[in-house]
Amino acid sequence: MNKLAVVALGGNALLRGNQMGTIEEQEQNTENTLENLVYLIKEGYSLVIGHGNGPQVGNILMRNDAGEQNYGIPQMPLDVCVADSQGGIGYMIERMLRNVLHKHGIEKEVVCLVSSVVVDKNDPAFKNPTKRVGKSYTKEQADALTKEKGWIFKEEVKDMVSGWRRVVPSPRPIKIMNETIIEELAREGVIVIAAGGGGVPVYIDENGKVRPSEAVIDKDLATALLAARIKADEFYILTDVPYVYINYKKPNEKKLEFLDKADTEKYLAEGMFGEGNMAPKIRACLEFVEQGGSKSVITEATKLEDMSYGTKITMQYDK
């Protein structure tokens, strides 16, 4: 049986920080990133692909805001915006991947699933919303929206300018809906795009009904959970650095090519990984191997083919 790998594409896979975000830019970035997955496909891996959606869902929220203010169009809730971004990004990845496969003479089916991800309605994150979404408002605008919609805002200072941005909860994912069919398709050799942007957050109420949740889910945690639930062999997070480092960008910087559970937990406890960037990725990788996965890898997309690159996280390794 072919090995099954789940690959989480980082935000820079679709949109670079210095770009406007045009469809031409995003398509080219996506194609360039997907070219690097050809190596895994030629090596016989079956693939499930996850992706980020931060800039895209932010744009959707701003379009919602402009439509309401200028034309009286009712805003859609956050769960619908996440689903909207999943469909658009998933379509783009599917189309560009089909073109990449055709270029390399590879015949494979590709399918995108808009994925709901179950969270616990009693998750502590709902009492402490921290994830910033959407545009920046003045204090007066933020106060008015809090009164009108019940939104919660926190101050944010950027480039010496103060603004107020909406914050929403980021609960832990506990189940991926449609995980059974995702696994079946992947085992049959279909490349599946799923759990994009962490998935659409939902919860199950006391009557067993699926309810929407005004929240966002960390995409690395969601794809790591998906990888574990479908019994994937390997989990990859593709980001903008070839390795994980401790003392990053300091004179005593050190790259970590191999990490086991004990060392990973030690470095996390010592605060060696930034909470705003690398620490969540490390935790996602650690959770995957703790739940039975053989190996997690964090690296740049362009380094996939060179197996000497990338930080490999396993339960144990021979030092």
Of residues 50, 219, 293, 312, which has the active-site annotation?
219
Separation of alpha carbons 35 and 38, rounded Å? 6
Long-range CB pairs of 11-14 (<8 Å, 24+ gap) are: 11/52, 11/54, 11/55, 12/239, 12/240, 13/51, 13/52, 13/238, 13/301, 14/51, 14/52, 14/55, 14/56, 14/89, 14/92
Of residues 36, 281, 295, 312, which has the active-site annotation?
281
Of residues 2, 12, 32, 59, which has the active-site annotation?
12
- Amino acid sitting at position 166: R
Q: Is 293 a catalytic residue?
A: no
Of residues 2, 32, 59, 131, which has the active-site annotation?
131
Sequence-distant (≥ 6) Cβ neighbours of residue 288 within 8 angstroms: 224, 227, 228, 232, 235, 296
Cα 230 from chain centre? 17
Q: Is 11 a catalytic residue?
A: yes
Cα 316 from chain centre? 26
Q: Is 154 a catalytic residue?
A: no
Q: Is 252 a catalytic residue?
A: no
Q: Is 12 a catalytic residue?
A: yes
Task: Return the active site residues.
Answer: 11-12, 131, 219, 281
